[in-house]
Amino acid sequence: MDGQPSHIDQIKQNNIGVVYRLIDQYGPISRIKLSKKAQLAPASITKIVRELVDAHLVMETEFLDLGFRGRPATGLKLDSASWHFLCVSISLGKLMLGLRNLSGKLIVEDVLPLPANNHKSFLDSIIDEIDSFFSRHQSSLERLTAISITINAIVDSTEGFIHSSPYYQIQDLPISEYLHRRTGLPVFLQHEITAWMVAESLYGAAKNCQNIIQIAIDENIGAGVIIAGQTLHSGNRSVMEIGHIQVESNGELCHCGNLGCLETVASTNYILSRTKQRLTSAPDSLLNCEPLTIESLCQAANKGDILAIDIIRNIGVKIGHIIAIMVNLFNPEKILIGSPLNACQQILYPIIDECIRQQSLPAYSKQVMLVATKFNNSGTLSAVASVKKALYDGSLLINLMKG
């Protein structure tokens, strides 16, 4: 148990995290209202707030409180401008580095190439680019608090390992440990879909929801699940690889070695390949008039193109079947779809919804809502979620307050 906080320390950490979260969500907020929302004694609120103010994590401000007879009241809000953290988003051929403050506001962001066949090792490439980023933006840097990494790979976020990647030569890489030793900063590692889902639950389309499923449909297909406010299998392989569930027994060979995986029939790469094949027998399709992309496919479907609509409907049936199974398993309040296919959601969603109603238990399907994600998965916003989570549970705050 060495290194673990005592029971009393854990309670203190939790309480500090709760107070910080409430100030973040409701600030400016008075100490009296904060005490009621946190369900903590006024004396405890006074002590915690004093510590947060002394650490320059929270500040006092005057605000108009209608219950205060129109006079300015003294409230609390975050003092986040001078605290920064680095967001690292790794995808196929691309590295995005973003500097943000503790409120999540973007300070600066760079998009850099990250070739899969680089002569340097994956880790050396990442470290060199981070060093160069800090050198380029030295004038913008304030106090660095953490590094948050998101990647499409098999990861263990608790131990900070990238076990393998579909794009890069990686085998059980302890990237969090390497970067922590180099920078002295806490390092958070998360699968990009899980981080995206947590971001949606904190301040996106699933805010205030306790039970959600998020489906990501792009070059790859995956899912994340939150049950009772907690990420399913949090820390160790938290993404469900639904893209590798077999949906066609004699289908195409998937890169995983199986036949007919969902990714071979519903990933965006497959969609474009299949559409291109069918265009040869559809000379009147609008898709012949411009370069074929997911965007142009969705636009054509929205304009009533028969081929485009048929392709979108077929995808909806395949995806809907898998989602219906997940509804029976997890009984979610909301199902979030994160995909460029959201551009034609008025065609796609009714098909998925019909599958859910027909194939899931009525007690579960009648209450579930199917919605688009608020955010897309571009940029470094998803990486904010890991830092916010560590602030809200108090673990990162305790480190920052120690100086």
pLDDT of 220 reads 87
Three-state SS at 197: helix
83-197+380-401: CATH superfamily = ATPase, nucleotide binding domain (3.30.420.40)
pLDDT of 69 reads 61
104 torsion bin: left (phi>0), alpha (psi -120 to 50), beta (else):
left
pLDDT of 1 reads 41
Sheet holding 93-101, edge to edge: 106-114, 93-101, 83-91, 143-151, 187-191
pLDDT of 285 reads 94
Tokens of 165: 């990647």
Entry pTM: 0.88
207-372: CATH superfamily = ATPase, nucleotide binding domain (3.30.420.40)
Q: Name the residue ranges covered by the structural domains of the chain.
A: 7-78, 83-197+380-401, 207-372
Residues (pLDDT < 70) of the chain are 1-5, 65-71, 234-238, 378, 403
What whole-number distance in Å separates Cα of residue 24 and Cα of residue 133?
29
Decide: 207 and 25 in contact? Cβ < 8 Å: no
What whole-number distance in Å separates Cα of residue 360 and Cα of residue 102?
41
pLDDT of 27 reads 80
Q: At what angle do helices 7-26 and 42-54 cross, to 10 degrees?
A: 80
> CATH classification of 7-78 is 1.10.10.10, yes or no?
yes
pLDDT of 210 reads 94
pLDDT of 7 reads 79
Residues 6+ apart with CB under 8 A from 307: 275, 278, 279, 282, 285, 287, 300
Same fold, 83-197+380-401 and 207-372: yes
